[in-house]
Amino acid sequence: MFLNVTMEEGIARAELARGKVNAINEAVVDEMEACFRGLAADPAVKAVILTGRGKFFTFGFDIPEFLDYAREDFIRYLTKFTGLYTALFVFPKPLVAALNGHTIAGGCMLSLSCDWRVMVSGKSRIALNEIDFGASLFAGSVEMMRFQAGSANAEKAILSGRMYAPEEAFELGIVNEIVSEADLEMRARAKALEMASKDPAAFRSIKLLSRKDTAETMKRKERDSILEFIEIWYSENTWSRLQEKKIHS
Amino acid sequence: MFLNVTMEEGIARAELARGKVNAINEAVVDEMEACFRGLAADPAVKAVILTGRGKFFTFGFDIPEFLDYAREDFIRYLTKFTGLYTALFVFPKPLVAALNGHTIAGGCMLSLSCDWRVMVSGKSRIALNEIDFGASLFAGSVEMMRFQAGSANAEKAILSGRMYAPEEAFELGIVNEIVSEADLEMRARAKALEMASKDPAAFRSIKLLSRKDTAETMKRKERDSILEFIEIWYSENTWSRLQEKKIHS
Amino acid sequence: MFLNVTMEEGIARAELARGKVNAINEAVVDEMEACFRGLAADPAVKAVILTGRGKFFTFGFDIPEFLDYAREDFIRYLTKFTGLYTALFVFPKPLVAALNGHTIAGGCMLSLSCDWRVMVSGKSRIALNEIDFGASLFAGSVEMMRFQAGSANAEKAILSGRMYAPEEAFELGIVNEIVSEADLEMRARAKALEMASKDPAAFRSIKLLSRKDTAETMKRKERDSILEFIEIWYSENTWSRLQEKKIHS
C-alpha cells in the first residue's frame, strides 16, 4: 500500500508514500485509480487533498524499474497512467494538491490535474523535465500544462525542461499559492473546505464546463502520443542516456 | 421600454434602465435583441456603448420573476438570453461596455461579450457568482470568460464565484480599464471613437477571425448546458436556496 | 538572393537583406521556403536564427509591388506566404528570431512562427497593423498571435493595430527577451545553442505536441481568410488608401 488515506470533516487526505522519493510505478497507479474511484463514489467525501511525504511530492516515474519493462508492458503502464491523470482532471469533487516537495515529471502531471496547487516555499522544484533526459511527453500532459499556464508559457516550460522554483512556477501559472512548510496542511485544507462549501452538483457541472473539452482532446490524442513517446524512449540516444541514469542512481 | 438609446457623432449609447438594479427579464432581452439588430443594420451607427444606470450595470437575472416561470418557459428565456450574448460577442461593429456599477452574473455575461470593458473604480464588483446560489453556468458564458481571462483564470473565477473588485478584475483580465465615475462616459466614448475610426470591413473581418471559432463552440454547447443548468436550478437543494432569496429580497 | 545564410557551431543564421526595409515580395518567400526546407533536411544544422539587417527585421510586404499584382497572382502569393509561416511554425528544429529592428505586419507574422523572439531595445516597433491601412489579416497569423499572447491580448493587438515598443510587446507576450543592440547576436545564439542541446527527436516531438493542433487550425482556415482578405484589399476604400501610400512612398 503506497497511498495513506485519512478523513477529517469530509476532507479526504491521500498521501503518496513509496520510498524516499515517492517514485510512481504500476502498483502506485493501480492503487491511486482504485482509491480515487472510491473517493468519487463515497458521499461522505466532500473534497480530496493529494500530497506526498518527505522532500518529494513525487520524483515521477520509477525509471530504473521501467527500464526492465518490455515495450508492450510499458505501453500498458502509460495507458493506465495517462488514464489516471485524465480521470483526476475531471474528478467530480474538489481536488487540491499540497505540494510538500519536489514535483517532477509524472508528479508534475498529477499535480496539473488538480483544481488548486499549494506549494511549499524554499528549495523544492516543479518541472516537466522529460526533454532533459531525451524523452517526449504525453499529449494529455501538454494539454493540462496549456490549460493551466496558457500555450506560450506551457511551451516555454516543456521545451526547456526548466526546474521551476515555487515563485517562478507561480509566475508561470502552474502553482496557485506558495506557503511555508508549517502552513501547507492548513492552507490546503482551507482551500478544500472552501470548495467543498459549494453546492456539489453546481461545482461538478461548472468544473466540467471548464474542463470537458480539454479532457476530450487529451483522450483523442493520448494513444498516438504514447506510441511516439515509446519510439523515442527506446531510441538509441535516449536509451543509452537512461541506462547511464540507472547506473548512477 | 428598458433600454434608452441615444446617438452622438455616430456612437450609439444604449443604457439599461429597469428598477433599482437593472435586473434582466425576458422583456429586457427581447428589447435588447431587437435594438442591437437595428444598430447593426443602421449605417449611421459606427460603434455602440452598452451601459447601466445608478449603482448597477446590472444585477443579472430578475430571480424572483423567474421563480414563477414554468420549466419550459425558463428554457425558452435562457435560449433567448444566451442567443443574445452570442450575437453581441460577434456584433459586427465596435461594442464597448461602460460598467457604471455592479456587474453580476447575467450582467457579467453581457459585459464579457463586448470588445472592451471600462469599469468605474471603487466599490462596484464584477462576478460570475452563480455557484454561490447553487446554480451552474451556460457553456457560452464559460467560453467568453475563457476567451477574456484564459482557461486557468476563468476556472478560478467560476469555481469560486468571487466578487471581484475592479483592480482584481483588471488583474484577472476581464476589465480593460478602470476610471473614476466622472471619466466613465468620456473614456468609453474615446475607446468607441478609436475603434470606429478603423475601416469597418477590416474591423468586422478581424473581429470575426478572433472570435468566430469561440462563437461556434458557444453555439454547439449551449443547448446541452441549458438543460443541465435547468436540472440543477430545479433540484431540491438549489430551489430551496433560491426560494429563501426570494423571501428575503 | 535576399537571404544570407551562414553557419557556425551547427547554428545557421539566415539574414533577410532586401533594400532598406527588407520588404517581403514573392522572390523572398520562394527563397525562404527553399532555404528552410534545406535547413530542415541538413543534419549539420542544429538550430536556426532568423534575423534582418539595418533598422528593420522587415517592414512586411512590399506593398507598391503588390499593387501591380492581378487578383489571382496576389492570391497565389498569399497562399505561398501563409504556407511559409505555417511551415516555420512547425519547423522541426529550434528557430530563434533575432529582431534587429522594426518587425511589422508580414514581418511580425514570420517572427510569431519562431520558438523564441529576442528584440533590440529602443525605438523599434512590432505590430500586426494591417487594420490601420484598412486590410484584414490571415487566419493563421491570428492563430499564431493567439498562441503567443492569448486570445484577449491577441485581439487587443489586432483590432488596434498598435505599434508596440519592445517593453509593451514583452508585456503582451509576443517578445521573450529585450536586449541591447550589442547583445542581440550573442543572446540569440545562446538561446539557439540551449535549444540545440536537447535531444533532437524529443525536441521535435514536444514542439509538435505543443503546436500541431494550432497548425491544423491555421491550415483549415487559411484559404477562406485569404479570399476575404482579397475582397477587402481590392474594396474601394482600402484600395484608394493603398494607392495613396504608394504615391507617398
Per residue in A63-116, pLDDT (tens digit) is 999 999 999 999 999 999 999 999 999 999 999 999 999 999 999 999 999 999
**Do β-strands C11-16 and C3-8 pair in parallel, antiparallel, or remain unpaired?**
antiparallel
DSSP collapsed to 3 states, chain A: CCEEEEEECCEEEEEECCCCCCCECHHHHHHHHHHHHHHHHCCCCCEEEEECECCEEECCECHHHHCCCCHHHHHHHHHHHHHHHHHHHCCCCCEEEEECCEEECHHHHHHHCCCEEEEECCCCCEECCHHHHCCCCCHHHHHHHHHHHCHHHHHHHHHHCCCECHHHHHHHCCCCEEECHHHHHHHHHHHHHHHHCCCHHHHHHHHHHHHHHHHHHHHHHHHHHHHHHHHHHCCHHHHHHHHHHHHHC
Q: What is the mean pLDDT of residues B68-90?
A: 97
- The grid coordinates of residue C94 equal 529550434
Q: Which chains touch B (3 or more CB pairs under 8 A)?
A: A, C
Q: Rounded to an integer, what distance in angstroms lies between the CA atom of residue B180 and that of residue B38?
A: 31
Query: Is C177 in the active site?
Result: no
Q: Do C151 and B205 touch (CB under 8 A)?
A: no
The nearest CA of chain B is from the CA of C227 a distance in Å of 11
- The grid coordinates of residue B3 equal 433600454
Q: What is the mean pLDDT of residues C149-158?
A: 98
Contact A64, A16 (CB under 8 A): no
Nearest to B154 among A115, A210, A213 (CB): A210
**Would you call C97 helix, strand, or coil by DSSP?**
strand
Nearest to C206 among A152, A159, A217 (CB): A159
Residue C246 has pLDDT above 80, yes or no: no
Per residue in B126-183, pLDDT (tens digit) is 999 999 999 999 999 999 999 999 999 999 999 999 999 999 999 999 999 999 999 9
Q: What is the mean pLDDT of residues C152-157?
A: 98
Query: ∠ CA(B7), CA(B9), CA(B11), 5° rounding?
Result: 55
pLDDT band at C202 (very low <50, low <70, confident <90, very high): very high
pLDDT at A78: 98
- The grid coordinates of residue B77 equal 428565456
Q: Residues of B with CB below 8 A from A117's CB?
A: none
Active site residues of B: 130
pLDDT at C91: 98
pLDDT at C244: 82
Say how far residue B49 (Cα) sits from the centre of its chain.
13
Contact A193, C163 (CB under 8 A): no
The nearest CA of chain C is from the CA of A147 a distance in Å of 11
Contact B78, B229 (CB under 8 A): yes
Q: Rounded to an integer, what distance in angstroms lies between the CA atom of residue A25 and that of residue C106?
A: 49
Closest chain C CA to residue B191:
C160
pLDDT at B73: 98
Summarize chain C as % helix, strand, coil (round to 5): 55, 15, 25
Q: Residues of C with CB below 8 A from A151's CB?
A: 146-148, 150, 210, 214
Of C8, C15, C130, C231, the catalytic one is: C130
Chain C residues with CB within 8 Å of chain A CB:
115, 146-150, 173, 176, 194-195, 198-199, 201-203, 205-207, 209-211, 213-214
Closest chain B CA to residue A206:
B136
CB atoms within 10 A of CB C212: 14
Residue B248 has pLDDT above 80, yes or no: no
pLDDT at A165: 98
Amino acid at B57: F
pLDDT at B105: 98
pLDDT band at B245 (very low <50, low <70, confident <90, very high): confident
Domains and CATH numbers, chain C: 3-182 (3.90.226.10)
pLDDT band at C97 (very low <50, low <70, confident <90, very high): very high
Interface test with A, best of B159, B171, B217 (most A CBs within 10 A): B159
Q: Give Dmax over CA atoms of chain A in angstroms.
A: 53
Q: Do A202 and B142 touch (CB under 8 A)?
A: no
Q: Do C202 and A238 touch (CB under 8 A)?
A: yes
**Would you call C44 helix, strand, or coil by DSSP?**
coil
Q: Do B131 and A194 touch (CB under 8 A)?
A: no
b/e per residue B3-37 (b: at least 16 CB within 10 A): bebeeeeebbbbbbebeebbbbbbebbebbbebbe
Q: Residues of A with CB below 8 A from B156's CB?
A: 176
CB atoms within 10 A of CB C4: 12
Amino acid at A170: F
Element (H, E) at C166: helix C166-172
Q: Do B199 and C137 touch (CB under 8 A)?
A: no
Amino acid at B249: S
Q: Do A205 and B155 touch (CB under 8 A)?
A: no
pLDDT at A241: 87
Q: Rounded to an integer, what distance in angstroms lies between the CA atom of residue B207 and that of residue B194?
A: 15
pLDDT at A248: 59
Q: Rounded to an integer, what distance in angstroms lies between the CA atom of residue C105 and that of residue C135?
A: 11
Q: Do B115 and C232 touch (CB under 8 A)?
A: no
Nearest to A206 among B159, B217, B235 (CB): B159
Residue B70 has pLDDT above 80, yes or no: yes
Strand locations in chain C (E): 3-8, 11-16, 47-51, 56-58, 95-99, 102-104, 116-120, 126-127, 177-179
Q: Rounded to an integer, what distance in angstroms lies between the CA atom of residue C135 and that of residue C241?
A: 10
Interface test with B, best of A209, A211, A216, A218 (most B CBs within 10 A): A209
Q: What is the mean pLDDT of residues C78-96?
A: 98
Nearest to A159 among C150, C195, C213 (CB): C195
Q: Do A228 and C206 touch (CB under 8 A)?
A: no
ipTM of the complex: 0.97
pLDDT band at B40 (very low <50, low <70, confident <90, very high): very high
pLDDT at C249: 54
Q: Which residues of chain A have pLDDT under 50?
A: none
Q: Do C151 and B213 touch (CB under 8 A)?
A: no
The nearest CA of chain A is from the CA of B136 a distance in Å of 5
